[in-house]
Amino acid sequence: MSYHKNKTCIEECLKCAAICNHTVYACLQEDDINKYKKCIQLCSEAAAMCYAAVQMMSLGSTTARQVWGLCSEVCIACADECRRHIDSVHCMECAEACDVCDECMSI
């Protein structure tokens, strides 16, 4: 594990974390916030896991692969929940970012 070897994945994880954070903010602005409770929770978790994965990859950690696996699981759950809100542009954008992050982690 090294920064240079995983630069693309690191960048995708950072992008995913930022979009997840934006989605949390946007969901909190919705009129029916209860409809978005699970989405808010999973987006928050996905952002946290993406940041953790970036940290471990950047540090060249020997446990980075395990963190990748957890990050991938959380991103899949987040994307699945976001897709339930098909009428929400920010949720669709988040689902797409989580998919890209998951694909990166699967390599």
d(CA 33, CA 69): 30
Q: pLDDT for 26-81, tens place per residue?
A: 999 999 999 999 999 999 999 999 999 999 999 988 898 899 999 999 999 999 99
Which strand (E) or helix (H) includes residue 97? helix 89-105
- Burial annotation 9-21 (CB, 10 A radius, 16+ → b, else e): bbebbeebbebbb
82 and 91 Cβ atoms separated by less than 8 Å: yes
7-105: which CATH topology?
A: Substrate Binding Domain Of Dnak; Chain:A; Domain 2 (1.20.1270)
Query: What pTM does this model have?
Result: 0.93
pLDDT of residue 23: 98
Ordered by start, the domain boundaries in the chain are 7-105
